[in-house]
Amino acid sequence: MADPWQNAMDYAVAVARKAGAVIRHALQNDMMIMCKSSSVDLVTKTDQKVEELILSSIKEKFPTHSFIGEESVSAGQPCVLTESPTWIIDPVDGTTNFVHGFPFVAVCIGFAVSKELVFGVVYSCMEDKMYTGRTGKGAFCNGEPLHVSKQTDIRQCLVISEFGSNREPQVVSKIFSTMKKILCIPVHGVRSIGSAAINMCLVASGSAEAYYEMGIHCWDIAAASVIVKEAGGVLMDAEGGPLDLMSRQVVAANNRTIAERIAKEIEAFPAKRDDAPQGDTPRN
Ligand code: IPD
Ligand code: CA
Ligand code: CA
Ligand code: CA
């Protein structure tokens, strides 16, 4: 059956490539670094410029569509997923990596219709890896099909997680407590790459069996979710239920057995949903 959104996906790939070139160029030049919710929640002029580039390019071609972009939400735009065709954008996933020249930075463009993800594009621009996933049509990296690992024994798994940017001691304690429980299963190892989207693409590629994080946002995971699913992986929340993009938590794994085992160890911490009404509390 013809895919009505193929054109949109091809366009997203071209826009992501252009955005990646802007990021690579910015690395060689002066960066203007600013802070958002705290001194470790960084944003640069490049994050804003790249989001503007992506938004204006897509709006020009699809003027009636809706948009959720990290930097627009930070500037006060709503973060609500409606039935309308919606682009979910993280212009620079791995801003801290970008600031330090740590070479894992991704442009993420996800697209949903009637609240269902249709495709996802993750361009790891320092590695020049273009990951794509289209619901029902598979996942690819630079055109090569992706498949998750076949491992079902948790003790032979490589697990990825992150520390995020919330440094409240009780939140950090829960992160370490979960990580300790997972390490002591024991798994082969725990890794931290600094980009939620690249982490998920590593699961989709079979290079790691699982990735989990509490405190992420919908733009961190929307595009990469399609890629994980289409590579044969599973996505769930920390209770083992279906993934809710707005819930600020994700478990992505090669199969249900591994995802459920990881979810069992997670010590959740309360985080304001992405689609909660905006108030005085920062989202971080
Ligand atoms: C962050 C990265 C990081 C993850 C954070 C995200 P940003 O995204 O994906 O790996 O730990 O939770 O916020 O802010 O660099 O786009
Ligand atoms: Ca950010
Ligand atoms: Ca991000
Ligand atoms: Ca970002």
Q: Where are the beta strands (DSSP E) in the chain?
A: 33-35, 42-44, 66-69, 86-93, 106-113, 116-124, 129-134, 138-141, 144-145, 158-161, 189-191, 210-214, 234-236, 249-253
The domain defined by 154-265 carries CATH number 3.90.660.10: no
Rounded average pLDDT per 10-residue block, the chain, 284 residues: 87 98 92 91 95 98 98 95 97 97 98 98 98 98 98 98 95 96 98 98 98 97 98 96 96 98 93 83 56
Q: What is the pLDDT of residue 277?
A: 84
Pocket test for ligand 1, best of 23, 93, 171 (most atoms within 8 A of CB): 93
Closest atom of ligand 1 to CA, residue 194: 10
Interface predicted TM-score (ipTM) of this complex, two decimals = 0.98
Is residue 204 within 8 Å of residue 233, measured between CB atoms? Answer: yes
Cis amide bond preceding 186, omega within 30 = yes
Q: What is the pLDDT of residue 164?
A: 92
Atom 11, ligand 1: residue with shortest CA distance: 164
Sorted by where each begins, the domain ranges of the chain are 6-145, 154-265
If you measure from the C-alpha of residue 94 to the centroid of ligand 3, how many angstroms do you get, rounded to a whole number? Answer: 6
Closest atom of ligand 1 to CA, residue 164: 11
Closest atom of ligand 1 to CA, residue 47: 16
CA atoms within 13 A on the CB side of 197: 36
The values of phi and psi at residue 234, to 5°, are -125, 155
Question: Which residues' Cβ are closer than 6 Å to ligand 1?
Answer: 70, 90, 92-95, 162, 164, 194-196, 213, 215-216, 220
Q: What is the pLDDT of residue 158?
A: 98
Q: What is the pLDDT of residue 96?
A: 97
What is the helix (H) or strand (E) element at residue 256, kind and residue range?
helix 256-265
The domain defined by 6-145 carries CATH number 3.30.110.40: no
Ligand lying nearest the CA atom of residue 199:
1
